[in-house]
Amino acid sequence: MLGLSWGRAFTDRVNFGATVNYVNERIASMNASGLALDFGAQYDTGWRGLGLSIAMKNFGGAMAFDGEDLGVSVLPPGAEPSASNRIVKFTTAKFEMPSFFSLGATYEVYRQNAQSLRLMGAFQNNNFTGDHVTGAAEWTYRDAYALRGSWFGSLEQHDRSRHRRGSREHRQRRRSVPGRGPRRGPHLQAGDSRFGLDVAWRPVRDFFNDVFEGTLTARF
């Protein structure tokens, strides 16, 4: 995937950005390509740190695979046995990109002296899987140290489609696979330093397979 991004702060409260992506997928000698658009906007209300945001990702046309593996050499029906084979090429069905639309909000519930507490939440609507809900809290001290925790989960999606078997009709309901769990991690930054360290821990169902992440950032 190759993307070109553009962003702008229209006012001191409104930000907007967009990215145009060229997407290419390859399986053996077949490939599919297409264009996808990502865009989002942020709005700072100016009241107790209340901020709102929206984002749309992978908004674009359908893709389809094409390549040499779709060609098959066969003898045309009704042709003489001594006739030459012809190359028959199959076509594949088009498929949509996994797009989603997200709504987010943040709110500062407490600030005194050098401490502050902020709550965050987001709702994500997916076109293929169940919708996602995320909640988070962040405690900061002197804008240099932060402790964060979050929770995420998926909502059930009821997809009713009709399937005909012989002379009978059946309805099938599919549910999204639930995924829930907390995310926690501290953030350390010494004053106005250009360097920062983030550490995150995400527990999963198997105890020994917990995910740990570490990020070192530097500003230039």
pLDDT per residue as tens, the chain (220 positions): 999 999 999 999 999 999 999 999 998 889 999 999 999 999 999 988 899 999 999 999 899 999 888 888 888 888 888 888 888 888 889 999 999 999 999 999 998 888 999 999 999 999 888 899 999 999 988 877 888 888 888 876 544 333 333 433 333 333 333 344 455 555 555 555 577 888 888 777 666 678 888 888 887 7
Domain boundaries, the chain: 1-97, 108-220
- Pairing mode of beta strands 30-44, 51-60: antiparallel
- Quick one: pLDDT at residue 184? 52
How many residues are given for the chain? 220
For residue 45, give the nearest of 119, 120, 127, 107 by alpha carbon: 107
Distance CA 29, CA 42 (A): 42
Q: For residues 181 and 152, is the Cβ–Cβ distance under 8 A?
A: yes
203 to 99, 123, 129, 197, 211: CA distances (angstroms): 27, 21, 22, 20, 6
